[in-house]
Amino acid sequence: MSSDLAAAAAAPASGTVHWIGTGLSTGRSGLSLVCERARRVVLWDRTAERAAARLAALGLAGRAEVRALTPAALAAETGAGDVLVSMLPATEHAPLLGLAADRGAHFACTSYTSPELAEQAQRTAARARTVVLTEAGLDPGIDHLMAHDLVARAREAFGPSPATAVFTSHCGGLPAVPGPFRYRFSWAPYGVLAALGTPARHIAGCAEITVPRPWEATAPLTLDGEEFEAYPNRDSLPFVAQYGIPYYWHLDTFVRGTLRNAGWHDAWKEVFETVSAGDPGAVRALAYDLAARHPAGPDDRDRVVLSVSLELRTRSGERWRGSRLLDLTGGPDESAMARCVSLPVAYGVTRILAGALPAGLNRAAETPREASRWLSFLGAHGLAGRYEETARLPTGVPA
């Protein structure tokens, strides 16, 4: 996308928000914020009765209109300047963005930006001045905000000085009370298993590394005195540019990864053997079996742990480190995951409603200033994480 398009003013928002999908990531915190800030909210589910039941379960009965979701019905009710929020699986985003573009509406989701979505965002920015907000959940989402914040702080502390950088970002949705399997499934396990079969690319020891089987790079990680396990996930390298890492930082380490409870690697040996065999049918069969054996029950509490850190050091001995740690346990009224996914995207929707985001593709917050605004809001709701900073100067240099 050209810089002109990226900065283009968006079409005015109408004040109507269509929240599409009422699954486990639709939390009370996020949906209630949208109900407070939008002129009109329409909640779409397979049936209107399911949507109404979900509203009631979230303590939001009567706060939004409810509709049965069909492509024709959604198309008929979507108007210019409306905001479509897709809480559906990632495969459904492209058709919804296409509908938004046709109607001159805006679009938001919490998923990674696929090449198809990026291309659609470029086209709709020119044609309909549509805002396309992606990667606005937990991971991706809050992790991006933390990364932008740390990079901005480090650049301010060091100025344009060459330095060696170590960047790590790890996130996990965990059971608050780990059982022998060290994990519980609150939704279909197939996606988790399929992700294990996707190679992970990152930087370690100043070199680009691709791990065909990500779990083979599992390593212990201590956070706030507690032991976890972490492994690289997906392709970390595109995020070097997305986070604004300057060219004069030499990357020793740059990795975005998944966090698991200690003991996870040993407990999942059966899973790794099946994924390694490469039989999709066997993986699906195992996914069904795991869902039955290790479900998240109604009395189970989930936990979200997100750690993002950046360390810089120079040849002269200067050293700076900043980090954010978010550790949240769900309650009976709202899971930690639902809160951490729905509240950021809901805040993003309020930014669209306010006309604060430009037309075209916006990943969570694309600039340090906007990221700071998001973090301030999330911090007021307990989701910015605990910030820590340490700095060390060479011996004999006054602080």
Distance (Å, rounded) from C-alpha 13 to C-alpha 130?
Answer: 10
Judged by average pLDDT, the poorest of 7-16, 87-96, 148-157, 163-172 is 7-16
Indicate the pLDDT class of residue 214, thresholds 50, 70 and 90: very high
Q: What is d(CA 330, CA 332) in angstroms, rounded to the nearest whole number?
A: 7
CB 309 within 8 A of CB 322: yes
CA distance 318 to 26: 45
Q: pLDDT grade, residue 1 (50/70/90)? A: very low
Which pLDDT belongs to residue 128? 79
pLDDT exceeds 90 at position 393: no
Between 345 and 2, the more confident residue is 345
CA distance 19 to 41: 7
- Percentage of the chain modeled with pLDDT above 90: 82
- In the chain, what percentage of residues exceed pLDDT 70? 96
Give the pLDDT of residue 2: 37
Q: Residues with Cβ < 8 Å from 292, sequence gap 6 or more?
A: none
Distances 197 to 202, 234, 236 between C-alpha atoms, Å: 16, 10, 16
The model's confidence at residue 7, banded by pLDDT at 50, 70 and 90, is: low
pLDDT of residue 357: 94
DSSP-derived pairing of the beta strands 83-86 and 106-109: parallel
Characterize the bridge pairing of strands 65-68 and 40-45.
Answer: parallel
Reported as a pLDDT band with limits 50, 70 and 90, residue 24 is confident
* DSSP state letters, 376-399: HHHHHTT-S-EEEEEEEPPTT---
* pLDDT (tens digit per residue) in 227-265: 999 999 999 999 999 999 999 999 999 999 999 999 999
In the predicted model, what is the mean pLDDT of residues 145-168?
95
**196 in Cβ contact with 213 (< 8 Å):** yes
Q: State mean pLDDT over 70-88.
A: 97
Tell me the pLDDT band of 188, cut-offs 50, 70 and 90.
confident
SS3 content of the chain, % helix, strand, coil (to 5): 40, 30, 35
Which of 61-70, 90-99, 169-178, 181-190 is the least confident region?
181-190
With 60 as the cut, is the pLDDT of residue 104 above it? yes
Residue 297 has pLDDT above 90, yes or no: no
Q: According to the model, what pLDDT value does residue 120 have?
A: 87
Mean of the per-residue pLDDT values of the chain: 93
Taking only the tens place, the pLDDT of each residue in 317-361 is: 899 999 999 999 999 999 999 999 999 999 999 999 999 999 999
Token pair of 225, please? 């005195």
